[in-house]
Amino acid sequence: MTVLKPTRKGPLAFLFAGERAGPSNSVRGAPLQMVGPDQDAVEADLLAGRLVCGSCGGELRPWGHARWRRLRDRTRLVRLRPRRARCASCQLTHVLLPVFALLRRRDLAEVIGEALRSRHLEGLSRREMAERAGVVADTARGWLRRFDERAEAIRADFAALAHRYDPQLPPIEPRGSPCADALEAIGVAAAAAVRLLGPAPLWDFVAGASGGRLLSNTSCPLPGPA
Ligand SMILES: [Zn+2]
């Protein structure tokens, strides 16, 4: 088992630091806030007062840590202990979840996202998809069911985000099914974000933009209009 300590840096901080992420989720009573994947950078930002409360825009300050979690990166287990922070203005405490994870999912956002893509765009069978993702059939079935339930909302949220990042963007072409349409909107939004902000890993972008709730039964807190 390794302790996950990613060093990737990208423009994702734009999504979390400068904008309000909308109403927060809660993790055991504490609101969830997405942060960049580089935990050293998050720590430095937190100590320097550069992280902003997603609920009120106040300054976040260090407030201990959440419990250890074991996440799966296909066959590799990774340990993560998310930072907690407290808002100096509204006093809410937040769990700071790195964008490589999704709320209440044990598998990394990239593993889940690539699995959904392989099923809906590459046409893998459910069994092949589960094998490639390194998960049991029930887990894969749960991802597919939830993505299917949320496909239209995900498509609408990411299409809106794509057009916000690139107002000149033409309408997004339908791909023939609600799930494929949602993945197409995700891809177009990610490409627009890269053009505007610079490169970032696709599924980090998706996890951040959805507030970690891509596969949660509440709506995505995508950033509102600028
Ligand atoms: Zn606050």
Tell me if 139 sits within 8 A of 107, measured CB to CB. Answer: yes
In this structure, the answer to whether residues 46 and 94 fall within a common structural domain is yes
Spell out which residues have Cβ within 5 A of ligand 1, the ion: 53, 55-56, 58, 87, 89-90
- 9 within some domain: yes
- 191 within some domain: yes
User: Could you tell me which residues come within 8 angstroms of residue 162 by beta carbon, excluding any fewer than 6 positions away?
Assistant: 169, 172, 185, 188, 189, 191, 192
Distance 86 CA to ligand 1 centre (A): 8
- 77 within some domain: yes
Distance 52 CA to ligand 1 centre (A): 8
In this structure, the answer to whether residues 165 and 141 fall within a common structural domain is yes
In this structure, the answer to whether residues 38 and 79 fall within a common structural domain is yes
In this structure, the answer to whether residues 114 and 205 fall within a common structural domain is yes
- 215 within some domain: no
Distance 56 CA to ligand 1 centre (A): 4
**Average pLDDT of the residues in 51-62:** 93
Please count the other Cβ atoms lying within 10 Å of the Cβ belonging to residue 5.
12
- 143 within some domain: yes
Work out the pLDDT band at 6, boundaries 50, 70, 90.
Answer: very low
In this structure, the answer to whether residues 62 and 124 fall within a common structural domain is no
Domain boundary among 38, 71, 98: 98
Distance 17 CA to ligand 1 centre (A): 13
In this structure, the answer to whether residues 40 and 76 fall within a common structural domain is yes
Distance 28 CA to ligand 1 centre (A): 18
- 103 within some domain: no
Residue 217 confidence (pLDDT) above 90: no
Give me the pLDDT at residue 31, please: 83
In this structure, the answer to whether residues 130 and 205 fall within a common structural domain is yes
Give me the pLDDT at residue 55, please: 86
- 173 within some domain: yes
**Average pLDDT of the residues in 108-126:** 97
Residue 27 confidence (pLDDT) above 90: no
**25 or 66: whose pLDDT is higher?**
66
pLDDT digits (tens, 9 = 90+) for 9-24: 334 434 433 333 444 4
pLDDT digits (tens, 9 = 90+) for 157-206: 999 999 999 999 999 999 999 999 999 999 999 999 999 999 999 999 99
Q: Which domain holds residue 144?
A: 109-209
In this structure, the answer to whether residues 62 and 28 fall within a common structural domain is yes
- 155 within some domain: yes
Farthest-apart Cα atoms in the chain, separation: 50
Give me the pLDDT at residue 54, please: 86
**Average pLDDT of the residues in 70-84:** 94
In this structure, the answer to whether residues 160 and 189 fall within a common structural domain is yes
